[in-house]
Amino acid sequence: MGTGKRGLLATAVAVVCAITVLGAPGTAFASPIPAPTTTSTPTPTAGAQAPALPSTATADKNLEAVRARLETLYHDAAVATDAYNAAEEAAQKQSAEIVELAKKIVAGQQKLAELKDRAGAAARAQYRTGGLPDEAQLMLSNDPSEFLDGAGRVRQGQRATKGLITQLTRTQQDLEQYSKDASAQWAKLEAGRKIKAAAQKKIEKQISEAEKLESRLEKKEKARLEELERQSAQKAQTAWLDTGILHEIDSAASVQGKKAVQFATAQVGKPYVWGAEGPDSFDCSGLTSEAWKSAGRAMPRTSQEQWQQLPHVPVEDMRPGDLIIYFSDASHVAMYVGDGSIIHAPRPGRTVTLAGAGSMPILGVVRPDA
């Protein structure tokens, strides 16, 4: 889930892989809950008792509802981002295939023209002999031995002509197949454009709604919301560490893993931008894929494809450089950097940051250089 790579048909756009609310997000996504609105307190009339201010517990409960709603919105945007990025990656491959097919068609047409010229020359040579059977030409020849030498050459020419016809037929068939393949790739490209457009629309809608929701909060509420987010992440991380998992995780990073970690670490502080692959901003899978590319390993672009295509390793066997996939739908990915920590690009409004590896629900671990 970069600033997107532009394919041969200008099919690159940037996409979001946002899924969490925090630099270290919460532990679960909740169903949408309406956000509370902030209203001014009316001036009490004479003799009337001023209304009681909401308690801290009540305010926190309302903010928890806001936090849950934000997580839902950003999670939905992250899922749409994976769909967008997958369509973008497919479009680049399809565009490249169309170009290669076009080259084959041009080469095939040139070959066909050459074969037709050669076949025409052979036909003209046969015409000059009058098309008589070999027996008749032998009977009419003044020098039978010369004719027999010539007849051998004629038979060679006939075989060559037959070979030309075979090549012509095969080349024509190849051209027809190339054309069909190109048409199929164009159809896939068009379908991919529709998927990308729908995904982009959903991404922008979810992010816009989330930003609108946050904009309605007062400054103190925003600060408290961030504190609740940190507390939720810390609670999840503590529970994960309390399992004793770090006593089992002691593998050293590979040479390539160290390079990937160095790249990811150097990006800390850069903003999250959906679909971005650097160098100035990243989304979650844009960060992990570019980090491993810098280490000499090409890998799938989206978190879901990384989960599906890369080798899985047990959590207790992970080492720095491995990728941790989060949530049941594999909608977020981070890089494990050791000591129970990850580096990841959380979601819109956040920057690439260090967080606890257990601060989100772990689906599993994959190893790009297994």
Active site residues: 284, 332, 344
Structure tokens at 338: 């050791």
**What DSSP character marks residue 133?**
-
**Sequence-ordered list of residues with C-beta below 8 angstroms from that of 253, at least 6 positions apart, any chain:** 261, 319, 320, 321, 338
Q: Residues of 79-111 as b/e, b for ≥16 C-beta within 10 angstroms?
A: bbbbbbbbbbbbbbebbebbeebeebbeebeeb
Please return the burial class of 361, using the count of CB atoms within 10 Å of its CB with bins 0-12, 13-18 and 19+: middle
DSSP string, 11-51: ----------SSSS--S------PPP---PPPPPPTTPPPP
Secondary structure class of 369 (helix, strand, coil): coil
DSSP string, 66-121: HHHHHHHHHHHHHHHHHHHHHHHHHHHHHHHHHHHHHHHHHHHHHHHHHHHHHHHH
Amino acid code (one letter) for 296:
G
Of all helices (H) and strands (E), which one includes residue 192? Answer: helix 144-215
Other beta carbons less than 10 A from residue 138's beta carbon: 13
